[in-house]
Every structure is written in structure tokens, then in C-alpha cells.
Amino acid sequence: MPQDSAPQLFFIGAAGTVTGSATLIDYPDNGSQYGRRRILVDCGLYQGREGPASPSAVPLFPVDPSSIDDVVITHAHLDHAGYLPRLQREGFRGTIHCTPPTAELLTLVLTDAARVAGNTTGSTPPPYRDADIRATLALLRPLAYGQWRELGNNVRLRLWNAGHILGSASAELSGADTALPEHIVFSGDIGTGTSPLLPRPEAPSGPAHLIVEATYGGRNRAALSPTQRRERLCQLVLTGLRRGGPVLIAAFAIERTQELLADFALLHDRGLLSAVPVFIDSPLASRVTSIFDRRLGPELQGIMHRGNFHFIAGDSGSRALDQAPRSAVIVASGGMCEGGRIRHHLAAMLPDEACTVILSGYQAPGTLGRTLLEKPPHVEIDGQTVAVRAEIATMDFYSGHADHAQLLDWIAARRHQPGALFINHGTDPARQALAAALRKADLGGSGIYLPAPLERFALKPAGASSLGPAPLNSARGSG
């Protein structure tokens, strides 16, 4: 196949970082199996230190958005979907494909991101307006797991349950048949297979080319059973309450909060912490929980509701929690302490040595959560210097990401042989550690590639060739 009729991959974002996911696949018209189709997989914002210092510094998209036919959103995290309204504003008018739960969650998170950014001086406002969000949501076309959708010009899409958050998917793209070299699987973010609310990650075997995430490349977590994890949670909370309390848990509004509630409910049912009020202080988490209530199977119905759980609605209720009973747990978003109600609780509780702050999940470099992990004497919160005397604890056992060994298992299960394996969505040390382990296990297919930002590749039946970093064409319009 001549190079100019081979599909091309263009690594727009998350190439050497864990946020800003965006990868373009360009199917040219090859005259027989498929025609021209330009598909973007994920359209995320950069966050934390990886993000721009100001909204005006958000880089223009390096591809003309009006030339993109389809966007596939693997899941509703902002670093995978948060740039969508901006893409629409700059001219994208194609179809956005995602699972039905992702479509529901996107409606909430895009609106919430705009609202939180408007209220918080510490975070970067998203680069779009409410009208852009509404126009974007009108382009959503949900697709259930396991069903092929014809996108046009003989290019097809199928979504697989990635087990990372509710609705998360790995995306499979192919020509009319799954012949080489146009059969590609994007892992998206891969889950751990140990959540009480999510299935083990699924994906097809035998794709020509793989694009895999590497958030936890080179790092393994202690293998805890769901029961052991619940016991660790219970111990952490009891230790915090013995210091005097309250215990503040910084949790992502999607998935982590619901997973914690399910575990608090199961503890409650064993008579543990059942008299301790658990305040869920996040309007977004409360709305997301109702989506879970509707979307979870019958065996999990009611799992996030017990008599000692209180969902806080208004801002005044949230402020009042700073005078809450000492023997209480407050679960607030956001998970990396960059926005949301967690910030005013931190300002109130960090100076108090009786309080305990528990961080759950990945804390990206440059976020307040990451700073707190280093236990500094004081931190800046919304222009205010706040002393840190509270206990800072972590719960990495609740990560939504496959660790190193689980990533290797996932890749091995794809029985990946003929083509290229691209590792993105990870820092360079994480990507290199995963690449080294894959080579050692002979799982690298015909080549392992760690794409650089804006690097393009031509896909071949057995491998890929780099075309170097270069924009396809410049974006129209500006800020």
C-alpha cells in the first residue's frame, strides 16, 4: 500500500502527559476498502501543571475542526472531553459518538466545569460559553457497547466497556472488514477490574494497531480485595475520628464518590461507622449518583443510600458543614482539590490538627492535591495562605486506573501481533517503563512507539513510520 493511502495517526494531546487526550485518525480515500474519513478520539483539556496558565493561552486546535467528521469520546472525564465545546465553537459540526451513560454524564460535567470555573479563582476557566455547550450536546449520538456503527465511507466504530468509570469505553475502528492495517483499538483509560460498580475491562483481540494509556506504567499498587479495601477505608476514617475529626475526603464526583458510598453502605450494613454521618458535599456528585442509581443493575440498586448519608444541596449547607459535628465524614469534590467545594473546606480544616484530609486517586503534578501530598507547612488557596496542621492521608487503593501489571494483562489479552503499539497518556518515565516491560514480555507487536506531541504516523500492515511532528493545517478562528 502506498504511504499516501495508508491511515495516519496524529497525536494531538496526552503524548507524554496524562491530560489533554486527543488523537486524530485520518483515513484517506484508498480507492477500494474505505473512503476519506477524519475521526478524533477524545477531545480533552489539559489540567494542573499540564494546563495553560490562562484561558487565552489555550492553544488553537492543530487541525481545522470543520474538517473532522466524527469525534469518539471514550469517557466523560474533562481531560478526555472538556475541549469539545471549544471544538464545536471553532467549526466542528460532525457527530460525537459515546456510550449512553457517557452522554448523560457529559451533559453534567461540561456544564459544571463552566460553573465551577466561574466561581473559583484557582482554576482555569474552560475556553467556551454556555451556548457552545448546548450546541455540542446536540451533536451527541449515543452508541451502546458491542454494536458496530457505520460512520461512513466504510469506516466502522464499536465501543467496549473499559471499566474505568460509568460509561467508559475502549474504541475499535476498522474498515469494512477488520483487515489490516486499518483495524485500530484505542484503549481509552483502562479500569482495574476490582470496582464494586464496574465490570472488568473488555476489548477485542487481534487488532492491527493498539493505542494504549500508561498512567500507571512502572507502578504497581498493593493488590487488595474489595473487602480488604473497605477495611482500610474504615481504619483510615476511625483513625481520623480518633484525632478529633472531622474527616474530609477529596473525591472525584464521578465514580470515586459512588464507589466510596457503596463501601460506606457495606460497612454500615456490618454495623461499622453506621452512626457516623457521611455528608456528600457536591451538587455534581449528587446528580451523578442519580445517574448511577438509574444505570446500575438490579443487584446494585440502593447501594449508594443509607440513613446516615446526607446529600448537601445549597452553598449555605456546604458552608454550614465547616461547623458540622466533629464525628463526621465529608466527601467533597474535586478529587485533585483544583475546584469545587473541597477548597473552602480545606481552607477551614487544614489549620486544625484534629482534622484529617484524605486524598483519593491520582493527583496530577501542579494540582493542590499533589502539593498537599508533600505536606508543606502552608498552601495558597484562592489567594489566601492557609497553614497545614491537619493530618494528610492518601487512599491510592481506590484508583480507577489499571496499574502496571494490569496494563500488561490488558495488552496481552489483545494478542497483539502484527502492527504498531503506541503508548500515550502517561509521563515519559511511565511510558518507558511500560515499553520496557512489553519488550521483555515480547508483547510489542512489530514496534513500540512513544509519540511526541503533534507527531504523525503512517500506519502500515506491520508497524508504522513517523512523519515527524507537524500540524496538519492550522485551525480557523481564534479565542
Binding site residues, Zn ion, CB under 5 A = 77, 189
Q: What does the DSSP assignment read for 270-291?
A: TTSSTTS-EEEE-HHHHHHHHH
Burial letters for 176-203: b for 16+ Cβ neighbours within 10 Å, e otherwise?
eebebbbbbbbbbbbbbebbebbeebbb
d(CA 209, CA 192) in angstroms, rounded, equals 22
**Beta strand pairing call for 391-395 and 420-424:** unpaired
Task: Sheet containing 22-27: give its strands across.
Answer: 140-142, 95-98, 70-72, 37-41, 22-27, 8-13, 455-460, 463-469
d(CA 152, CA 178) in angstroms, rounded, equals 15
What dihedral angle (degrees, nearest 10) is formed by the CA atoms of 444, 445, 451, 455?
Answer: 170
Cell 457529559: give the residue: 106
d(CA 347, CA 283) in angstroms, rounded, equals 19
Nearest to 103 by CA among 53, 149, 141: 141
What DSSP state is assigned to residue 335? T
CB 82 → Zn ion: shortest distance, Å? 11
Task: Sheet containing 420-424: give its strands across.
Answer: 149-152, 155-161, 169-174, 184-186, 209-213, 420-424, 447-449
- Own/partner contacts of 110-117, CB < 8 Å, gap of 24 or more, are 110/81, 110/82, 110/84, 110/85, 110/136, 110/137, 112/253, 112/283, 112/284, 113/78, 113/82, 116/334, 116/339, 116/340, 117/339
Nearest to 432 by CA among 454, 409, 460, 404: 404
Cell numbers at 255, concatenated: 465514580
Residue 101 and residue 77 in contact, taking contact as beta carbons nearer than 8 Å: no
Q: Burial, 454: exposed, middle or buried (Cβ in 10 Å; 0-12, 13-18, 19+)?
A: middle
Residue 23 and residue 211 in contact, taking contact as beta carbons nearer than 8 Å: yes
What amino acid is encoded at 211 in this protein? I
Nearest to 403 by CA among 224, 159, 255, 141: 224
